Amino acid sequence: MMFCPECKSMLKSYEGKLRCPKCGYEKDISDKTQLLKTRQRVEKEITIVEEDQNIATLPTTKIKCPECGNNTAEWWLRQLRSADESEVRFFRCTKCRHTWREYD
């Protein structure tokens, strides 16, 4: 992107020139290959992580698993009810992968 050297606004293409909509500064476009017109928005690539993969990305805490008695679990928060109510805390045991929740 090109910015106006006088007022720092973004220059826009107009009739073969770059023009500042704020102060009127104009500059000839010397290299037309830098200007690209697209008709369709291109989405960026999104990486999907499958839930069954054992990737340690969640924080952990010391809490006893009700299934196996292990003392470490991953945790996360989700807003399940209306916005004026508190979030729900989820836990997943790092040993047996049992998931449970706690409400405030």
Q: Are 58 and 49 in contact (CB under 8 A)?
A: no
Q: Which residues contact 102 (CB under 8 A, 6 or more apart)?
A: 88, 89, 91
Name the catalytic one among 28, 43, 51, 84: 84
The answer to whether residue 74 is catalytic is no
Q: Per the annotation, does 65 bind a ligand?
A: yes
Coil, strand, or helix at residue 88?
Answer: strand
- DSSP state letter for 24: -
7 labelled binding-site residue = yes
- The yes-or-no answer on residue 102 being catalytic is no
Among 26, 67, 85, 102, which one carries the catalytic annotation?
Answer: 85
How far apart (Å, rounded) are the C-alpha atoms in residues 61 and 102? 14
Q: Does the annotation place 4 within a ligand binding site?
A: yes
Residues carrying an active site annotation: 84-85
Annotated binding residues for Zn(2+):
4, 7, 20, 23, 65, 68, 93, 96
